[in-house]
Amino acid sequence: MLKIGVAGKGGTGKTTLTSLIVLSLLRMNEKPILAVDADPNSNLAENLGIPQPKSLVEIVDEIEKIKNNLPYGIEKAKYLEMRIQEAIKEEKGFDLLVMGRTEGPGCYCYANNLLREWMGKIEKNYKFVIMDNEAGMEHISRRTSGNLDILLIVSLCDKISLKTAENIYKMIISLELNINKTYLVLNEFNGKKIKEIINFPIPIAFSLPFDEEIYTISEENRGILNLSENSIAYLKVKEFLSLILNKY
């Protein structure tokens, strides 16, 4: 199993990159794939162009409301397991699991623990696990992603985005997280050399130019899965994954 996480500051294209990875693996016939939306602001399903499934947190909230009225003869833990299995959205070649919003303001602890527990149970059934993490740095400190083969930190080419990417990288090192390889992905890169990139502490995996087709698809509320084979961003991601797969 190859497990890839995507992180970065909000608005840098994190979810779009996650969707492009799923699309590229599907077209390379590399499956089955589990796509995980671990961002409380869940929009991976929308970005892919598929219906939004119920989240883990929604299911837990529903069960909590009827905890004294569960189906006869079924323990709460067993009923929860059954409902979560139903929450895994099955698509052609890949499944989607959504964490969802926390049950309490400002506290993601239970949702994160639930996600980690269920990831450990089901990820072994997949060849690839692709995880869209929460924007910013908190998911890193909470170890939501678990063990990763590859972490892609997405950044625009502005000072704030790059600084966030650098801070995420420093936190990974300080926490001694079990991440095999960490790379930087520059989104909407125009080819201009900027001093912030020179001697950057994270190796650059690839850069993505602005892709007009992705912008159009987004404006028309169509998913990344409808992207053409000629998309510049798609070809860049596919090229990177081809190199990675030769090493694993």
Q: Express each pLDDT in 14-28 by its tens digit.
A: 999 999 999 999 999
Domain tally for the chain? 1
Closest CA to 131 of 30, 47, 41, 37: 37
Place of tokens 């080419």: 157
CA dist 118 and 124 (Å) reads 11
The reply to whether 80 falls in a domain is no
Chain-centre distance for alpha carbon 79: 27
Place of tokens 């840098």: 12
Choose between 125 and 191: higher pLDDT: 125
Range of the domain at 123: 2-53+88-245
pLDDT level of residue 82 (50, 70, 90 thresholds): confident
Tell me what pLDDT residue 112 has.
66
Strand, helix or coil for residue 64: helix
The reply to whether 115 falls in a domain is yes
The reply to whether 62 falls in a domain is no
Cross-strand partners of 97: 36
pTM: 0.89
Is residue 141 over pLDDT 60? no
The reply to whether 75 falls in a domain is no
